[in-house]
Amino acid sequence: MALEAAHTKRGDRAKRRRQPGHSDSGRGSEKEYIEAGADILVTNTLQASSISLKRYNHSEDAYEITYKAAKILKDIPEVKYIGGCIGPTTGEFKEWAMDPTKAYTEDEFYAAYKEQVRAFKDAGVDLVICKTFFILPELRAALRASKDYDMITAVSLAFNYFEKTDDFATIYGAKIDDLISLNDADIIGFNCGSVTPDQAVELTVRFRKKTDKPLFVEPNGGLPGNQDQVYTPDVFATYFEKIIEAGGTLVGGCCGTTPGHIRALKKIVDLQNLGTIYRPKKWRL
């Protein structure tokens, strides 16, 4: 299954909006991802929890923002599946990725995420995707909130590769085994971070040695902030031949990926007939 890019660098978003066919509502970009062949479109709600919205003084609007974001996708008939996106609460802080456990308890994370999941449920999304997480307490809270509403749930960490130890971990040290310990998750995997598409192949192999669960694989189209290392759609898609062969199930692109990346990726997915490998029973066909 191919996923659209759920969040991109601000610059990419602005650039795309300037292109013909892009309306201010963002509706234009959603159509582009549908036309590119994305099976799942993801809501633009990564930073829409009440905690993340604090820095904009909009905490009390978390439900409404999340609900409306899901409804935008729900109202487009061509959308096959909608992934309700939940992200880390680090967005509240000026320093991205400051450890939020120093400011909040796991129960506070849970309460904030529960509000978003309730909005997803009310709007009728097909699954909840908890992505770009760095620390376990937040991710655990998001998963618990999602399962309270009986939602199909994907959990995903933002890994970096550490050459010294030849290991993949988040900037706070969470690893593959930590994700696997989240037994209630229906889908596990990784997105964003500094894992390049070629490293994503290796990371997929390492996941597959430890789990049979459907695997979510969504690397960036380049390294954030590094213009010298940007993957063109065709090169990006080439790595997915190996990722899918190694057992990647729900595949897509994170920061810096465009409809062109998804189009190229979709060709690989179709070639390998991936669509038939994983589809939860309760999803409509």
Name the site residues for Zn ion (rule: CB under 5 A).
Answer: 192, 254-255
Q: Give the containing element (helix H, strand E) for 28.
A: helix 27-36
57: tokens are 């003084």
Q: Are 145 and 114 in contact (CB under 8 A)?
A: yes
Give 15 or 210: the residue with its C-beta nearer to Zn ion. Answer: 15
User: What token pair was written down for 148?
Assistant: 């309270």
Q: How far is the CB of 281 from Zn ion (least distance, A)?
A: 30
Handedness of CA 257, 258, 259, 261 (dihedral sign): negative
Nearer Cβ to Zn ion, position 179 or 192? Answer: 192
The alpha carbons of the chain give a radius of gyration, in whole angstroms, of 17
- Our CB check for Zn ion shows the closer of 43 and 114 to be 43
Nearer to Zn ion (CB atom), residue 30 or residue 218: 218
What one-character-per-residue DSSP string does 64-92 give? HHHHHHHHHHHT-TT--EEEEEE--GGGG
Please state, as a whole number, how many other Cβ atoms lie within 10 Å of the Cβ of residue 220: 28
